[in-house]
């Protein structure tokens, strides 16, 4: 629900109640979509997964469909956050932020480092309920930084570029930029 003292009478009370109800409905939708995904309902309906089913049958955008599917998966891993979402205290947007921390690779990294996901769940849930959205985003980023303090591996091809242009007469011209390693490989 919206936080803080709601001043301004019935209209703001109504807004806070509607936001809480929307959060509850979003939680219910995410759980139902997850159940459909686990039972492979979309496949029995002729589609490959719930994302295209939501896009086609419910006319959701690709991003909205992905968020609903992802949120359903998050609720499986973070029961405290799921309970707060069910109660209307946490928004679908907050659950989607938490999803960033729950990719299969990050779940594996957490398991390898002995991270107690129940503790992370409790802390993130409390931040989601008690603090502004930006603080919740910062808490998730802090967790991710602790999970991988060195950050992502640098992409060795990041500084490389190749641009080609085919002309009307069939000739080809181009331009390229290579880092030192790429340049050595080209010269070899």
Helices (H) and strands (E) in the chain, counts: 10, 2
Pairwise CA distance, residues 156 & 181, whole Å: 9
Q: What is the pLDDT of residue 157?
A: 73
Q: Is the pLDDT of residue 6 over 60?
A: no
Q: Does any domain span residue 82?
A: yes
Residue appearing with tokens 């000739």: 171
Q: What is the pLDDT of residue 180?
A: 82
Alpha helix stretches (DSSP H) within 7-116 = 10-38, 41-44, 50-57, 62-77, 79-86, 92-99, 104-112
How do residues 52-103 score in pLDDT, each as one tens digit? 999 999 999 999 999 999 999 999 999 999 999 999 999 999 999 999 999 8
Q: Number of folded domains in the chain? A: 1
HSE at residue 146, side-chain half, CA atoms within 13 A, is 12
Lowest-pLDDT choice from 78-82, 124-128, 178-182: 178-182
Q: Does any domain span residue 60?
A: yes
Which two structure tokens, joined as six digits, stand for 83? 């309970």
pTM for this model (two decimals): 0.74
Q: Does any domain span residue 131?
A: yes
Q: What is the pLDDT of residue 179?
A: 83
Pairwise CA distance, residues 169 & 179, whole Å: 32
Q: Does any domain span residue 176?
A: no
Q: Does any domain span residue 86?
A: yes
Question: Average pLDDT of the chain?
Answer: 90
Percent of the chain with pLDDT over 70: 94
Pairwise CA distance, residues 101 & 80, whole Å: 15
More confident of the two residues 184 and 57: 57
Q: Does any domain span residue 2?
A: no
Q: Does any domain span residue 180?
A: no
Q: Does any domain span residue 18?
A: yes
Give the phi and the psi of residue 87 in degrees, each rounded to 5: -80, -5
Alpha carbon 96 to its chain centroid, in Å, reads 4
60: CB partners within 8 A, 6+ apart: 54, 68
- Which domain, by its residues, includes 130? 11-147
């Amino acid at each position: 629900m919206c936080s803080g003292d709601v001043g301004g009478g019935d209209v703001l009370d109504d807004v806070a109640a509607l936001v809480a109800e929307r959060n509850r409905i979003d939680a219910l939708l995410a759980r139902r979509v997850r159940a459909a995904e686990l039972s492979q309902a979309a496949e029995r309906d002729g589609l490959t997964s719930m994302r295209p089913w939501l896009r086609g049958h419910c006319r959701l955008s690709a991003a909205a469909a992905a968020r609903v599917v992802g949120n359903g998966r998050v609720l499986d891993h973070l029961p405290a956050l799921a309970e707060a979402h069910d109660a209307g205290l946490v928004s679908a947007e907050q659950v989607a932020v938490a999803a960033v921390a729950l990719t299969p690779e990050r779940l594996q990294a957490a398991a390898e480092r002995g991270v107690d996901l129940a503790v992370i769940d409790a802390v993130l849930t409390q931040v989601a309920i008690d603090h502004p959205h930006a603080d919740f985003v910062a808490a998730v980023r802090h967790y991710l930084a602790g999970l991988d303090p060195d950050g992502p591996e640098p992409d060795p091809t990041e500084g490389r570029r190749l641009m080609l242009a085919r002309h009307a007469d069939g000739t080809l011209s181009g331009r390229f930029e290579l880092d030192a390693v790429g340049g050595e490989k080209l010269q070899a």
